């Protein structure tokens, strides 16, 4: 029996493949439509409305980042509804259907501004709403007995995201060129339907951490209680202990502690990263697309990023991080994230130098973009893979969906800033590259200073929750699963 238990602890739970399969197809659908969005807006939807090419490019960038801001705003709502009322499974399944309808609108209303933007809104609601739930649900399938596998599963989870993104980035731009927008947006819609079906197939196997319901000790109630009882000694939240239990106050403290590390600094990385689908695409349109016998589409170059992620994550995890540890300087999450900001800034400096060269009259080959993509991807792995895991482990059970939303809302703040900047057309040409790189470097310094004072505390489920199919067989209701 002991040997069987040890074998179980070394394997992923059987429900994990359903979540991973769902994520691969969902990410194909999302990146497939997102990666061609800027080009579609410039060459199709806005062509007659905004005749001037430069103004049309600026408007397309602004619209793309407005959409992305919505995608990363709705995690706040999805995470809250999942944590408090419906549970992660129901939110993922329900909003996935909304997501499918949004894709259908893009395919059908390629010539209608109203219809197309309605589709984008539905995708923002669906994609954003499920984001914190899927990531948190992966972690919910583990407990203290197999918590050593959490880091590995999040690495696989992120690898899977990029697996879907790679094929979408490579092929969907070609579909747009050769078959038009209906097919190019329709294929991602089909993949989203398949993603929803795969997730539904695992419905009896998932560990479903029950929603807390109307929580008398919620985040907002604890905060208002602390404000009413301020001046009671200790920290400002300690006054809430008069009306709320210790674990509730500690949970709110964890949210504030993680937020103070993430919210002021991480958005400056996403300001860089998400512009590979806008600013870098516009730059690629001005480059020579011929690479040997191949002619690359400007938006197609985004395939470099997920390809590199799939190659670099195993290399960094198996070789680089252990090497640093052996030399006595471990690349902890609190060191990786500021380093990711520095590396991301370097990628924009390289792209800015390219832009200066092109503004001087030289036409660069599109293959030159591979260099900043390599650097940006390294920064992404240091920041994003690390942050996804870090945000989950630093929150107690009741706050895991919410803290995932805090991580994702950093992207909202970034995209709102870029959307406004693009709309106002404040920085053009090479200036915009160096502008964003400078702010990222300042953010790296600030995050490193805050991280030095951060005290890490990992939260995992302390008992092994019972999968849904086993609870049903035993006559246990879904809301009665116990976890810490």
Q: How does DSSP assign 110-154, residue by residue?
A: TT-HHHHHHHHHHHHHHHHHHHHHHHHHHHHT--GGGGGGHHHHH
Q: How far apart are CA 440 and CA 450, in angstroms?
A: 15
Q: How far apart are CA 223 and CA 161, in angstroms?
A: 36
pLDDT at 74 over 80: yes
**In Å, how far are 266, 300, 441 from 311, measured between CA atoms?**
24, 19, 26
pLDDT at 430 over 90: yes
With beta carbons less than 8 A apart as the criterion, state whether 256 and 397 touch: no
Helix (H) or strand (E) holding 9: helix 2-9
- Which letter does DSSP use for residue 85 in this model? I
pLDDT at 312 over 70: yes
What local confidence, expressed as pLDDT, does residue 83 receive?
80
Q: How far apart are CA 81 and CA 84, in angstroms?
A: 5
What local confidence, expressed as pLDDT, does residue 239 receive?
87
**In Å, how far are 88, 90, 392 from 151, measured between CA atoms?**
21, 26, 11
Calculate mean pLDDT across residues 396-414.
79
With beta carbons less than 8 A apart as the criterion, state whether 91 and 78 touch: yes
Q: Report phi then psi at 112, rounded to 5.
A: -115, 120
Question: Residue 213: left if φ>0, alpha if ψ -120 to 50, beta else—which one?
Answer: left
Average per-residue pLDDT in the chain? 87
Calculate mean pLDDT across residues 143-161.
79
pLDDT at 124 over 90: yes
Of 15, 1, 277, the closest CA to residue 138 belongs to 15
Residue 53 — very low, low, confident or very high, per pLDDT cuts 50/70/90? Answer: very high
Q: Report phi then psi at 458, rounded to 5.
A: -90, 135
Higher pLDDT, 257 or 317: 257
Residue percentage of the chain with pLDDT more than 90: 57
Residue 30 — very low, low, confident or very high, per pLDDT cuts 50/70/90? Answer: very high
Residue 281 token pair: 């695409």
With beta carbons less than 8 A apart as the criterion, state whether 186 and 344 touch: no
What local confidence, expressed as pLDDT, does residue 461 receive?
52
pLDDT at 268 over 80: yes
Residue 11 CA to its chain's centroid (Å) = 26
């Amino acid at each position: 029996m002991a040997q069987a238990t040890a074998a179980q602890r070394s394997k992923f739970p059987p429900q994990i493949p359903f979540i991973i399969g769902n994520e691969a197809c969902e990410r194909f659908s999302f990146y497939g439509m997102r990666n061609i969005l800027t080009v579609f807006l410039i060459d199709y939807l806005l062509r007659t409305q905004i005749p001037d090419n430069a103004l049309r490019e600026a408007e397309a960038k602004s619209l793309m980042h407005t959409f992305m801001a919505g995608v990363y705003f709705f995690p706040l709502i999805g995470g809250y509804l999942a944590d408090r009322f419906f549970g992660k499974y129901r939110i993922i399944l329900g909003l996935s259907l909304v997501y499918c309808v949004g894709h259908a609108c893009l395919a059908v209303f390629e010539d209608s501004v109203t219809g197309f933007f309605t589709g984008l809104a539905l995708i923002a609601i669906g994609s954003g709403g499920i984001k914190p739930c899927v990531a948190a649900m992966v972690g919910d399938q583990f407990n203290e007995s197999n918590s050593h596998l959490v880091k590995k599963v999040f690495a696989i989870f992120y690898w899977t995201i990029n697996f879907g993104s790679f094929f979408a980035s490579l092929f969907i731009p070609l579909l747009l060129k050769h078959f038009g927008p209906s097919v190019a947006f329709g294929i991602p819609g089909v993949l989203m339907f398949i993603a929803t079906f795969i997730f539904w197939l695992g419905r009896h196997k998932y560990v479903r951490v029950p929603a807390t319901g109307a929580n008398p000790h919620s985040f907002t109630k604890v905060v208002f209680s602390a404000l009413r009882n301020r001046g009671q000694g200790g920290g400002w939240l300690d006054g809430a202990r008069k009306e709320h239990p210790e674990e509730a106050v500690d949970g709110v403290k964890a949210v504030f502690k993680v937020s103070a590390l993430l919210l002021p600094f991480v958005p400056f990385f996403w300001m860089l990263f998400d512009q590979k689908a806008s600013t870098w695409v516009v730059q690629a349109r001005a480059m020579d697309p011929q690479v040997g016998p191949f002619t690359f589409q400007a938006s197609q170059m985004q395939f470099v990023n997920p390809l590199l992620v799939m190659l670099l994550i195993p290399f960094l995890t198996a070789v680089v991080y252990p090497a640093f540890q052996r030399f006595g300087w471990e690349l902890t999450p609190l060191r990786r994230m500021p380093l990711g900001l520095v590396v991301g800034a370097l990628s924009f400096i390289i792209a800015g130098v390219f832009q200066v060269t092109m503004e001087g009259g030289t036409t660069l080959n599109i293959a030159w973009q591979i260099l900043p993509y390599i650097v940006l991807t390294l920064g992404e792995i240091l920041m994003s893979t690390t942050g996804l895991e870090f945000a989950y482990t630093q929150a107690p059970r009741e706050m895991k969906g919410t803290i995932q939303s805090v991580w994702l809302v950093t992207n909202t703040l970034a995209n709102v800033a870029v959307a406004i900047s693009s709309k106002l057309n404040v920085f053009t040409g090479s200036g915009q590259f160096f502008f964003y790189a400078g702010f990222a470097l300042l953010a790296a310094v600030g995050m490193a200073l805050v991280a030095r004072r951060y005290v890490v505390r990992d939260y995992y489920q302390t008992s092994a929750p019972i999968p849904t199919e086993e609870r049903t067989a035993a006559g246990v209701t879904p809301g009665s699963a116990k976890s810490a």
